[in-house]
Structure 1
């Protein structure tokens, strides 16, 4: 279906009308209240949800100065893992394949050649066994294995996706951790957040999260963080499209009516540059 210019204009008018009906003038004051009264140490069910790493403060800096600042690290390593997306076959198998790689700036071609590949399989047949050991290919530059996912009645696609993705990434990061001297940036969270959400999403997934294979994947990330802490090397995770609602959900449970759909919108309100605020960045 094609859209003529008049259709695009009509859609834009509808969107403008929706935006114009929303009054956000008090959102900044609410965000400030959350920052001052709740975020220094927010609890949920007796556990700390979020707390500051250092001092609880916000800062402003000229945007041009930030953009032109000297690089604090001479060498930066980055790691990413991606999958082909889960595929369901006629024989009942659900398969996903993940592939992890690390790169560096300045470039290190031998490092970039190293890969970790994991194929995760879910089978409806309880007698099947696809688990395999790690094997090497490409003159030792590629490590790969097949992981047989624990059986579930639902969520098979999500399970094979998460286990393949995080096992490949965590294994590759841990195997190459000692090659990082200054900074490692993960494309995604430092910990396998999706596995942690299983506990709250569904009782069956909650049971699965306590099984040996998911716990072994999580353990790799714990060991990775411990390794970097011991070596005093920075480790960061970069989440491009965060969708967490942990903070706003915790605020709702405490009777604070949050106008933000997720945590990202809250921090956007707290940190974004506004007109009239000058050329500064939060």
Structure 2
């Protein structure tokens, strides 16, 4: 109680201090983002209209015609990195599609793509392919086992292992079934998955962490190719892929906005106080009538922006340009860059970035349909589109599943006379991981 009492009083003082400071601010987030119409920076308006926030009653948005009644969602889950006393690291992932609406393709929700990625820093360690084993896969399941190459050890190896396992499974799953979809595909997260997208950008820039492109360039290219090919197949079928980012640490739009303000002598002090794009747009999209106005709850959203270049360790690059790891059907890398807008749900307080490739967004009519589809889904759900929710529910690997799979490795290794023991993470043992999303 003494600990909380001291913290409580310090937090009170912080509240007073920040309240006094905030009352003196003359520029709001809504004022600041209006300057996206200024030239400069890597993020610019998609068309020539003024950058103005739109506020609509949720009751009205819910009643809009749905451009695509059938919707798909892509999500995956992972075991996290499993550690063993002999240096083995392993991570397994599963990817699923969620299906919403009436369709003859409802069975796609029963299909699974599973991956296992393992690392042992000994060149003599071998991991057979699924086809070389006696594994009997359940109906509708595709599986692949990958060996992470032996190399110089780094502190984030477990994160890299999990990143490969999850994004390879999700991208492969999307690519395999994209030609069967009869509606848009909502992706839980960005259009291009991290960390693979960042690995590619670092390679393009020739700066920053290049561990993955130095040691396993093929997997980085394969992951990104899966997503690029999915986008191309969706385009051929006239159905958009749409990324839904619910949280994010990116500051690309914020950095670009500051550049515009500074380069065009706008009378606003920089640096701007918001620490990320998410915080900037959360503040800009908030209004006091969000929940209890005369017209009921209000959903707020921005116009479309175009992220023409991505930052990579101080350099700015066009994604995929001059990158040999991916084959682009359309040739021009600018077709694949991301267009996006932000939306705020008042009843849940969620702020989301909605993004799609430039090849889709540059068409005004298609862009309007994508906007309408995303807003209808988000207004109805007050969170991500329901197809993503369905995919998440079906793909989820529980904490108990993770422990059981870890025990399986230990048991079968010992049956083969190996002295292999699972190593439990201290925080995991204290159940800290219960508060983390997979």
Partner residue of 1:258 out of 263, 266, 272: 272
Residue in 2 aligned with 1:148?
A: 147
Counterpart of 1:79 in 2: which secondary structure? strand
Matches of 1:214 and 1:66 in 2, distance apart? 40
The two structures have a TM-score, normalised by structure 1, of 0.81
Counterpart of 1:273 in 2: which secondary structure? coil
Following superposition, the deviation at residue 222 of structure 1 comes to: 0.6
Unaligned runs of 5+ in 1: 44-48
Following superposition, the deviation at residue 76 of structure 1 comes to: 1.1
Taking the TM superposition and a 5 Å limit, the aligned residue runs for 1:99-138 are 99-106=94-101, 110-130=107-127, 132-133=129-130, 137-138=137-138
Residue in 1 aligned with 2:299?
A: 281
Residue 245 in structure 1 maps to residue 272 in structure 2: no
The two structures have a TM-score, normalised by structure 2, of 0.54
Residues 132 and 147 in structure 1, CA contact (< 8 A), matched pair in contact too: yes
Describe the superposition over 1:192-234 as per-residue Cα deviations: whole angstroms up to 9, x where unpaired. 1322223288434364487111111111101011111121112
| Structure number with higher relative contact order (C-alpha < 8 Å, ≥ 6 residues apart) | 2
Matches of 1:269 and 1:37 in 2, distance apart? 20
Partner residue of 1:71 out of 62, 66, 69: 66
Describe the superposition over 1:4-34 as per-residue Cα deviations: whole angstroms up to 9, x where unpaired. 7x67864763453254143244133651353
Residue in 1 aligned with 2:33?
A: 32
Partner residue of 2:234 out of 204, 228, 237: 228
Instruction: Go from structure 1 to structure 2 and tell me whether the alpha carbon gap of 1:249 and 1:28 turns closer, same or farther (over 3 Å shift).
Output: closer
Describe the superposition over 1:37-67 as per-residue Cα deviations: whole angstroms up to 9, x where unpaired. 25xxx53xxxxx3344455543332333123
Residue 184 in structure 1 maps to residue 185 in structure 2: yes
Instruction: Go from structure 1 to structure 2 and tell me whether the alpha carbon gap of 1:9 and 1:87 turns closer, same or farther (over 3 Å shift).
Output: same
Residue in 2 aligned with 1:46?
A: none
Unaligned runs of 5+ in 2: 263-269, 301-438
Following superposition, the deviation at residue 133 of structure 1 comes to: 4.9
Matches of 1:193 and 1:251 in 2, distance apart? 24
Tell me the number of residue pairs that the alignment of Structure 1 and Structure 2 aligns: 272
